[in-house]
């Protein structure tokens, strides 16, 4: 068990280390200048995106998940953040089209920067990790299917939150004050 955890953590570390600084900084800039942020992801990627949405809310940003009853329409000045680890999903492409037509900017987080979703983005954050698009063959992660990408997303998103927090001068106390008291 310990050996597997060491290997999994090492693999996630490599993914995080190999994120391009320029892309990370561009992502921070997109988030901090957006009027409103709407986020979307499918499956386990969607769970990580929901975690990012929660933290952006804690930072005091106006954000929502696609599909929630209170999600506003997107327009110019807004940002759609989608995760498409394997390169594309039909729902991601459809949402990108709607958001683009409404004038919103598009940020795609992906492990496949040459994928269809990334080709439609204003900004791409490449997380270099195995997904289900490339989980077979000789060089496989110790983690199954797309878990390496999803694990790296969690940490990468928390690092983004720290960078956005610093850029916006939000204190940890202010973030805590935005946390729900209904738990």
**Catalytic site positions:** 150
Residue among 155, 71, 72, 86 at smallest CA distance from 118 = 86
> CA 88, 91, 93, 96: dihedral to nearest 10 degrees?
-130
Give 47's strand partners: none
């Amino acid at each position: 068990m310990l050996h597997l955890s060491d290997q999994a953590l090492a693999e996630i570390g490599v993914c995080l280390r190999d994120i391009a600084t320029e892309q990370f900084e561009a992502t921070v800039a997109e988030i901090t200048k957006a009027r409103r942020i709407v986020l979307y992801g499918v499956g386990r990627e969607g769970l990580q995106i929901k975690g990012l949405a929660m933290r952006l809310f804690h930072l005091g940003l106006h954000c929502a998940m696609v599909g929630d009853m209170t999600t506003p329409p997107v327009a110019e000045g807004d940002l759609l953040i989608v995760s498409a680890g394997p390169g594309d999903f039909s729902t991601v492409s459809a949402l990108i089209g709607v958001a683009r037509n409404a004038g919103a900017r598009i940020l795609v987080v992906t492990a496949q920067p040459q994928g269809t979703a990334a080709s439609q983005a204003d900004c791409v954050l490449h997380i270099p990790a195995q997904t289900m698009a490339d989980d077979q063959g000789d060089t496989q992660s110790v983690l199954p299917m797309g878990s390496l990408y999803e694990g790296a997303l969690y940490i990468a998103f928390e690092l983004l939150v720290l960078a956005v927090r610093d850029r916006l001068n939000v204190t940890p106390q202010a973030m805590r004050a935005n946390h729900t008291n209904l738990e």
